């Protein structure tokens, strides 16, 4: 049964207990990492996922709390003996910057490097990202300070849906990504430019008709995120939980 594991739930400033927001979908044939945190080679084994078994990497947007671990992932996988290709997906501007970072590291001089394929996603709603026997993933642009995508994952055998707002102000694109979702995980970094409050996340989840709302990308540094649950529950009629590092969802 495919699983989705939150590898980090923190907003930009992490703590020793809570990493920056990123997650992995772990199926029989595909393991899809969504963003990297600082170094996914530390988090993935703790979640029971072999980093060398990661088949796909989706980069949502080029902010450090989401992609600073890209170079570590690529280099460490090579040092661990990776031979299999890795598919990387993202908007054009995101992939261009990821490639530039690797060029700064002179990765073309690293011998016998495994194939890395960059797959550019158009900034168009419900763009198919990848499909396999167990699930299919769609991306839509959301409203952040820089180009960014949210995701919808449809699991075929259970018929369940998980949707992810990524970093965004409240927007109709997330309502459509989360339409009828079993779980909508929405960021709650706080109301303001490019982000949302717990109340706003709850309004989006309510409008989308999601069954459960998970709050993610919440402040953890000198902050208690627990009151965010009550704030969201005032608006959203389904179950509300804080996403947490290493929380496992079965799909």
Nearest to 25 by CA among 187, 192, 162, 139: 162
Q: Read off φ and ψ for residue 203, nearest 5 degrees.
A: -65, -40
Which stretch, 72-80, 152-160, 161-169, 230-238, contacts Zn ion (CB under 5 A)?
161-169
Q: Which residues contact 16 (CB under 8 A, 6 or more apart)?
A: none
Q: How far is the CB of 190 from Zn ion (least distance, A)?
A: 13
Minimum CB distance to Zn ion smaller for 160 or for 195: 195
- 22 interacts with Zn ion by CB under 5 A: no
Q: How far is the CB of 10 from Zn ion (least distance, A)?
A: 12
Minimum CB distance to Zn ion smaller for 63 or for 97: 63
Minimum CB distance to Zn ion smaller for 134 or for 167: 167
Q: How far lies 36's CA from each of 151, 211, 246, in Å?
A: 16, 27, 14
How many residues bind Zn ion (CB under 5 A)? The answer is 2
Residue pair 118/70 in contact by the 8 Å Cβ criterion = no
The residue from 30, 31, 43, 63 that contacts Zn ion (CB under 5 A) is: 63
Q: How far is the CB of 169 from Zn ion (least distance, A)?
A: 12
Which stretch, 109-117, 118-126, 163-171, 175-183, contacts Zn ion (CB under 5 A)?
163-171
Angstrom distance (rounded) from CA 241 to CA 251: 17
Residue pair 59/90 in contact by the 8 Å Cβ criterion = yes
- 167 interacts with Zn ion by CB under 5 A: yes
Q: Which residue has the tokens 């495994």?
A: 114
Binding region for Zn ion (CB under 5 A)? 63, 167
């Amino acid at each position: 049964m495919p699983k989705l594991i939150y590898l980090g739930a923190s907003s930009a400033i992490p703590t020793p207990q809570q990493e920056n927001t990123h997650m992995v979908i772990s199926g029989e044939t595909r393991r899809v990492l969504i963003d990297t945190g600082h170094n996914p080679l530390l988090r993935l084994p703790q979640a029971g996922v072999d980093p060398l078994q990661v088949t796909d990497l989706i980069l949502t947007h080029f902010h450090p709390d989401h992609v600073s671990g890209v170079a570590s992932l690529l280099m460490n996988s090579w040092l661990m003996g990776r031979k299999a290709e890795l598919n990387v997906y993202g908007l054009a501007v995101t992939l261009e910057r990821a490639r530039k970072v690797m060029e700064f590291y002179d990765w073309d001089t690293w011998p016998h490097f495994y194939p890395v394929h960059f797959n550019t996603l158009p900034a168009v709603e419900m763009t198919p990202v990848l499909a396999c026997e167990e699930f299919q993933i769609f991306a839509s642009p959301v409203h952040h300070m820089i180009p960014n995508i949210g995701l919808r994952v449809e699991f075929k055998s259970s018929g369940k849906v998980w949707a992810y707002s990524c970093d965004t102000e409240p927007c109709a694109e997330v309502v459509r990504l989360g339409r009828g979702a079993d779980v909508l995980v929405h960021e709650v970094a706080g109301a303001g430019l490019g982000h949302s409050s717990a109340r706003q996340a709850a309004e989006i989840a309510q409008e989308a008709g999601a069954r459960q709302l998970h709050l993610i990308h919440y402040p953890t540094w000198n902050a208690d995120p627990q009151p965010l649950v009550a704030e969201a529950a005032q608006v959203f009629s389904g179950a509300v939980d804080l996403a947490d590092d290493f929380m496992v969802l079965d799909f």
